[in-house]
Each structure stands twice: as structure tokens, then as C-alpha cells.
A and B are shown apart, each in its own frame.
Chain A
Amino acid sequence: MLAAAQAATDFVTPKLDYAALAPEMILTGVIVVVLLLDLFLDETQKYVIPSIAGFGILTAAFPLVFLAVQGDDVRSMVGGAYVSDDFALVFKALFLGTGYVVLLMSNRYIDEGDYYKGEYYVMLLSSLLGMVVMSSSRDLISIFVALELLSIPAYLLAGWRKRDLKSNEASLKYYLLGVLSSGVMLYGMSLIFGAAGTTVLEDISAQLVSVPQLDKVIAIGIFFVVVGFAFKVSAVPFHFWAPDTYEGAPTPVTAFLSVASKAAGFVALLQLVFIAFLSQGDTWAPLFWVLAALTMTVGNLVALRQTNIVRMLAYSSVAQAGYILVPFAVAGDELRAVQSAQTAAIVYLLIYSAMNLGAFAIVLAVARKTRSGEISSFGGLFQYAPGLTVVMTVFLASLAGVPPAGGWFAKFAVFRSVLDAGTGWAVALGVIAAVNSVVAAFYYFNVAREMWINPVPDEDRTPIRVPAALTTALGLTVAVVLVIGVFPGLFADLGNAASLGR
């Protein structure tokens, strides 16, 4: 007992790599500054807050460039619990970029609403910080803390319009299912901790191989963890919250949830599955197979009969999550297939973020004039807003996977991972994905037909005035989508470089 107490006093301060932590530290500083400014600034001067928040996000992204240029040395901290490698850098860049675009989208929306300004940006930045931390977390505890850091502000953002009953409902549903899923995930983590005796993912991976007598405990633990994250990424049958939350939440927040929050769930899944649970493919592969098949099929079939554009995009994002789950299901334990699966999931996430954000930016722009979320309100858009129509068509084509918009390459990467796996089950899932891509084209092009061919519903042809910030957001997203579509090679390398555990 005495010896144990002696051992406990030998505390060694963990060595922190401040260069690798720079994005997190800058983001934290910006959160504090924005919070204090909101407190002390005059009401008339608060317009500077979004600018400072946006500037802060860009500043936080700056160190990423230096870290990336320095080469691929892995910076590992706190006994491997917090790692800054290429995977982390790519996803930090994705989250900061997404956060910046969402900020541009929210700017006017929040100004014109009658609710608090400063807090909105504090919440958005805090959630962003959670996602940035998530990309580096290689430990059960830090994954859990990052997940809560990104979710808790998101629950509040979903209920931003305090007096709107739909917004309340969105927040409540998101909160209840989010917390339930964290509970389920934690229960699984506690079992895995019990079987492995450690919380660091690398060590778990080594331990799980050496304790075959505990395989049932491990299997139950993995099942609970995967189910917990299936809620987060809104995989069927755990997707019920998604459409309601997306419809009720303010549209910029919906864009944020459907892109960044979902990507963060996938980042955690990638790290858990491809580092910690890699040897347990027999347990998680069938689970992901069922989730992927159900998610694609149900998401697309329900999206077909939606009349509200936000709900349609919500179900479309459920279906897209299904495509991203396909590589997980087919990864297996052969090195080449694992590599290919990771590349596919990463590439899909990057492209999905750009095209989905863009689609929501258009919905936001059009709703400024029509004040409606119905697909029919897009009727005849081409006659009075040709620019928006063309850009929206690019995003829809990308979501449907039609070249030259970027989405085709994401689908291509998924199908390549299926072929690299090459097993019968993998090919069967590939066929399901292919059929679903065709079904999905119907509802995407239904919106396109509405815009190009159908008449204007109320004969009101006054042009839409798009604020500068929203135009910038649209420009950025459409540029990314088109560049990827035309030069996919650039992106394939990025996906390869970012794979875990080489």
C-alpha cells in the first residue's frame, strides 16, 4: 500500500507540444475574446463580433499549414492520448473551413433575427473547438470529452429561436437522443476499458488481441460504442431525431449539424474502428453492413416523398451517411482493403461537407425572399435568379454523383473500396449503393426541374438580393465542388495521406 502511494506521488508533468496545440489554443482564446466583447461592447458596436470570430477561425487554421509543411512526423502527447498527425490536420482543416462557411451563412441571419448575437458565435466556436479536439483524440476519455464539447453547444444552437415552438422541439429531440446515445456509447466504452485495462486507443488495440477469453465482453462493448455513434451520424434505425431537428433548427445551424457534427461522429468512428478495434472486424463489419444498407435505402426512399426542402436535404444527408458507412462495412482486416476503405470514407466526408453546405446556403438565400421551405417555392427560380439556379444545380448534381461536380469522385472512392475488398458481401453492398444512387437522382433532379422548368408560383419575379457574406460562402463551396470534380487526383492523395495507422 505504501509502495503504491509512493508510486502515485512520482507525478511527471506531461510534455505538451505547443506548436501542435496551436489551433486549439487560438480557438480557445477567440472564444474568450468574443464572450468578453459581447459583455463590454455597446449594442451599436456588436457588428464586429462575427468579424472577429471569423478572423479567429482563419487564424486558428494558419498553424495547420506550418504543421503540414513540416512533413509527416507524428506529434504524440500525453502517452499517445492526443496525437497530431496528417489525419488530424486534414480534419482540423475541414472543421475550421466548415465553421468559417457556417459563420458566413449565419451572419445576416442572426443580425436580422431578434435574438442574442454574441452568444451564438460563442456556441458555434465552442462546438468547433470540440470538433478540432476530436480529430486529435486517440483516447476514450478525450473522445468522450470532445464529443460532449461539440454536442452541448449544438443542443443550444438548435433551440436558438427561443419563442418558436418548432425550434424548441428541435432542440429537445436532439438533446434527448444525443444524451441517450452518449450514455449508450459510454457504457460500451466502460466495458472496453474493463477488457483492455486502458483507455488509449493504441494500447486497446494491442490488448484486445491478447485477451481472447474476453471476446464476448469486447463484442458487447464494440456494439454499444458503434450504436452510440450511429445516433450521432444519424444512421437508420437511429435517425429519428435528424429530420425534425434539421427542420426546426435555424437553417445555418442545420447546415452546421448536418455537416460538421456528422463529420465529427465519423472522425470518432474512424479512429475507434481503425485504431482500437481493427482486430475485431468479425464484430463490427456485419454491424456496419446492416447499418449502411438500411441507412442508404430508408434515407433515399423517405426523401423521395418530402415536400419541404430542408426535410428532403435532411433525409438526403441520412442517405449520404449510408454511403460513408459502406467503406466501414467492407474494410475487413486485409491491409489494402483497410487503407482503401479509410481513403474512401475521408474523401467522401470532405466532398460531402462542401456540397451539403452549399445546398443549405442556397436554401438560405432563396428563403430570404420566399420565406418558405417548400420545394414548390423554388418554382421558376431560373427566371429571376439564374445565378443561384446554376449553382444549386451544381450542388444537386454533386449530391446525386453526376460529373463534373465533385460528388461523383466521392461515390467512385466508395465503389473502389468495395472492389478492393472484393468479397461477396462487399459486392452485394456495392450493388445496394448503386441502386440507391439511381433512386436518389430522382429527388435531386425533382428540385432541379422545379427551378428550371416549372412556373413561378406567385408571379413575384423580384430578384433575390444575396448578402456579400452568403455570396462568399456560395463561391467557396461551389469552387471546392467543381475543382474536386475536375481534378480529383489532388484529393485522392489527400485521402491517402490522411489514413490512420500506416
Chain B
Amino acid sequence: MYLMQFLVLAAFLFCVGVYGVLVRKNAVLVLMSIELILNSVNINLVALGVYRGYDQAIVGQVFSLFVIAVAAAEVGIGLAIVLLIYRNRASIDLSEVDLMKG
């Protein structure tokens, strides 16, 4: 059973995603990084579920279906917010969105 490979892949994707959210300045790329994080969760859920047995595999897959569905809604909202920012500022550079501080 190749469990470890999947877990390492998921951990790597998770780290790439978190790095992207924290470092990237382009809002759309940040949304893509968030997708990476959620997909790493899906890999984890499916791999660990299959590793644990038949019933757990179903639970893991159902969980990951929920994650996929909710992630779609989340990114839809995210794009709407980014679009709003773009309309008002004509830019989606996150480092410029800093009216409030302290």
C-alpha cells in the first residue's frame, strides 16, 4: 500500500498552497493557492480512507465530495469579491489594499 507517497504529496501541496496565500500579491493566484490547499485535503482524505478499509474509504470520499462542493462555492464568492475590488480600484494587487492599519 503506497500510503506514504500520497501523504507526502498532500503535505507538499498544502505547503505550496499556504506559501502562495501568504506571499503572492495577485488575488487570483491567491485563490488558486487556496484551491491547492483544499485539494491536498482531498488527497489526504481519499488516501487515508482507502488505507483504513472499505467503510472508511466511503466516508473519506463523501467528505472529499463535500470539500469539493463547498470549495466551488467559496471560490465563486472569492472571485466576486476580487471582481468588486477590480471595479473600484482597477487593480487586483493585494499589497495595494491597505487603507486600514494598526
Residues of A at the B interface (CB closer than 8 Å) are 4, 7-8, 140-141, 144-145, 148, 152, 155-156, 159, 162-163, 165-166, 168-173, 175-176, 179-180, 182-184, 186-187, 189-191, 193-194, 197-199, 243-244, 247-248, 306, 311
Q: Tell which of B34, B59, B98 touches A193, judged by Cβ atoms closer than 8 Å.
A: B59
A165-B74 contact given A140-B63, A187-B40, CB 8 Å threshold: no
Q: How far is the CA of A260 from the CA of B77 in the complex (A)?
A: 21
Task: Please give, as numbers and ranges, the residues of chain B lying within 8 Å of A248 by CB-CB distance.
Answer: 99-100
Task: Please give, as numbers and ranges, the residues of chain B lying within 8 Å of A191 by CB-CB distance.
Answer: 44, 48
Q: How far is the CA of A145 from the CA of B84 in the complex (A)?
A: 26
Task: Please give, as numbers and ranges, the residues of chain B lying within 8 Å of A141 by CB-CB distance.
Answer: 62-63, 66
Q: How far is the CA of A141 from the CA of B63 in the complex (A)?
A: 6
Q: Could you jot down 24 A-B contacts, CB within 8 Å? A: A7-B54, A141-B66, A144-B67, A152-B74, A152-B77, A159-B81, A163-B88, A165-B88, A168-B97, A169-B85, A179-B74, A179-B78, A180-B37, A186-B67, A187-B40, A189-B41, A190-B41, A190-B44, A194-B49, A197-B56, A244-B100, A244-B101, A306-B102, A311-B102
Task: Please give, as numbers and ranges, the residues of chain A lying within 8 Å of B70 by CB-CB distance.
Answer: 144-145, 148
Q: Tell me the nearest residue of chain B to A155, going by C-beta.
A: B77
Asked if B84 and A168 sit within 8 Å, CB to CB, the answer is yes
Task: Please give, as numbers and ranges, the residues of chain A lying within 8 Å of B62 by CB-CB distance.
Answer: 141
B38, B44, B45, B100 — which one has the most chain A CB atoms within 10 A of its CB? B100
Task: Please give, as numbers and ranges, the residues of chain A lying within 8 Å of B53 by CB-CB distance.
Answer: 197
Task: Please give, as numbers and ranges, the residues of chain A lying within 8 Å of B101 by CB-CB distance.
Answer: 244
Task: Please give, as numbers and ranges, the residues of chain B lying within 8 Å of A190 by CB-CB distance.
Answer: 10, 41, 44-45, 48, 63
A247-B100 contact given A179-B78, A187-B41, CB 8 Å threshold: yes
What is the distance, in angstroms, from B13's C-beta to the closest C-beta of chain A?
Answer: 10
Q: How far is the CA of A173 from the CA of B100 in the complex (A)?
A: 11
Asked if A155 and B81 sit within 8 Å, CB to CB, the answer is yes
Task: Please give, as numbers and ranges, the residues of chain A lying within 8 Å of B98 by CB-CB distance.
Answer: 169
B44, B49, B81, B82 — which one has the most chain A CB atoms within 10 A of its CB? B81
Q: How far is the CA of A182 from the CA of B71 in the complex (A)?
A: 10
Asked if A183 and B17 sit within 8 Å, CB to CB, the answer is yes
Chain A to chain B: the 5 pairs with minimum beta-carbon distance, closest first: A194-B48, A183-B37, A190-B44, A186-B41, A244-B100
Q: Please tell me the number of chain B residues within 8 Å of chain A, measured between CB atoms.
A: 47
What is the distance, in angstroms, from B61's C-beta to the closest C-beta of chain A?
Answer: 11
What is the distance, in angstroms, from B26's C-beta to the closest C-beta of chain A?
Answer: 12
Asked if A179 and B34 sit within 8 Å, CB to CB, the answer is yes
A176-B21 contact given A166-B100, A171-B81, CB 8 Å threshold: yes
Q: Tell me the nearest residue of chain B to A192, going by C-beta.
A: B48
Using a CB-CB cutoff of 8 Å, which residues 21-39 of chain B contact chain A?
21, 27, 30, 34, 37-38
Q: Tell which of A172, A175, A194 touches B44, judged by Cβ atoms closer than 8 Å.
A: A194
Task: Please give, as numbers and ranges, the residues of chain B lying within 8 Å of A244 by CB-CB distance.
Answer: 100-101
Asked if B66 and A4 sit within 8 Å, CB to CB, the answer is no
What is the distance, in angstroms, from B22's C-beta to the closest C-beta of chain A?
Answer: 8
A169-B38 contact given A141-B62, A190-B45, A191-B44, CB 8 Å threshold: no
What is the distance, in angstroms, from A181's C-beta to the closest C-beta of chain B?
Answer: 10
Asked if A4 and B99 sit within 8 Å, CB to CB, the answer is no
Residues of B at the A interface (CB closer than 8 Å) are 10, 14, 17-18, 21, 27, 30, 34, 37-38, 40-41, 44-45, 48-49, 51-54, 56, 58-60, 62-63, 66-67, 70, 73-74, 77-78, 80-82, 84-85, 88-89, 94, 97-102
A194-B51 contact given A166-B100, A175-B81, CB 8 Å threshold: yes
Asked if A162 and B99 sit within 8 Å, CB to CB, the answer is no
What is the distance, in angstroms, from A424's C-beta to the closest C-beta of chain B?
Answer: 36
Q: How far is the CA of A454 from the CA of B80 in the complex (A)?
A: 45
Task: Please give, as numbers and ranges, the residues of chain A lying within 8 Å of B59 by CB-CB distance.
Answer: 193, 198-199
Q: How far is the CA of A173 from the CA of B94 in the complex (A)?
A: 10
Task: Please give, as numbers and ranges, the residues of chain A lying within 8 Å of B81 by CB-CB distance.
Answer: 155, 159, 168, 171-172, 175
Q: Tell which of B48, B66, B99 touches A166, judged by Cβ atoms closer than 8 Å.
A: B99
Task: Please give, as numbers and ranges, the residues of chain A lying within 8 Å of B48 by CB-CB distance.
Answer: 190-191, 193-194
Q: How far is the CA of A140 from the CA of B59 in the complex (A)?
A: 11
Asked if B30 and A176 sit within 8 Å, CB to CB, the answer is yes
Task: Please give, as numbers and ranges, the residues of chain A lying within 8 Å of B58 by CB-CB distance.
Answer: 8
Q: How far is the CA of A183 from the CA of B77 in the complex (A)?
A: 16
What is the distance, in angstroms, from B23's C-beta to the closest C-beta of chain A?
Answer: 12
Task: Please give, as numbers and ranges, the residues of chain B lying within 8 Å of A166 by CB-CB distance.
Answer: 99-100
What is the distance, in angstroms, from B100's C-beta to the closest C-beta of chain A?
Answer: 4
Q: How far is the CA of A248 from the CA of B81 in the complex (A)?
A: 14
Asked if B30 and A186 sit within 8 Å, CB to CB, the answer is no
Task: Please give, as numbers and ranges, the residues of chain A lying within 8 Å of B94 by CB-CB distance.
Answer: 172, 176
Task: Please give, as numbers and ranges, the residues of chain B lying within 8 Å of A189 by CB-CB distance.
Answer: 41
Q: How far is the CA of A306 from the CA of B101 in the complex (A)?
A: 11
A180-B41 contact given A193-B49, A194-B51, A198-B59, CB 8 Å threshold: no
Q: How far is the CA of A247 from the CA of B56 in the complex (A)?
A: 45
Asked if A193 and B54 sit within 8 Å, CB to CB, the answer is no
Q: Tell me the nearest residue of chain A to B63, going by C-beta.
A: A141
A169-B41 contact given A152-B77, A175-B81, A193-B60, CB 8 Å threshold: no
Task: Please give, as numbers and ranges, the residues of chain A lying within 8 Å of B84 by CB-CB distance.
Answer: 159, 162, 168, 171
Task: Please give, as numbers and ranges, the residues of chain B lying within 8 Å of A247 by CB-CB distance.
Answer: 100
Task: Please give, as numbers and ranges, the residues of chain A lying within 8 Å of B54 by CB-CB distance.
Answer: 4, 7
Task: Please give, as numbers and ranges, the residues of chain B lying within 8 Å of A176 by CB-CB distance.
Answer: 21, 30, 78, 94
Task: Please give, as numbers and ranges, the residues of chain B lying within 8 Å of A183 by CB-CB distance.
Answer: 14, 17-18, 34, 37-38, 41
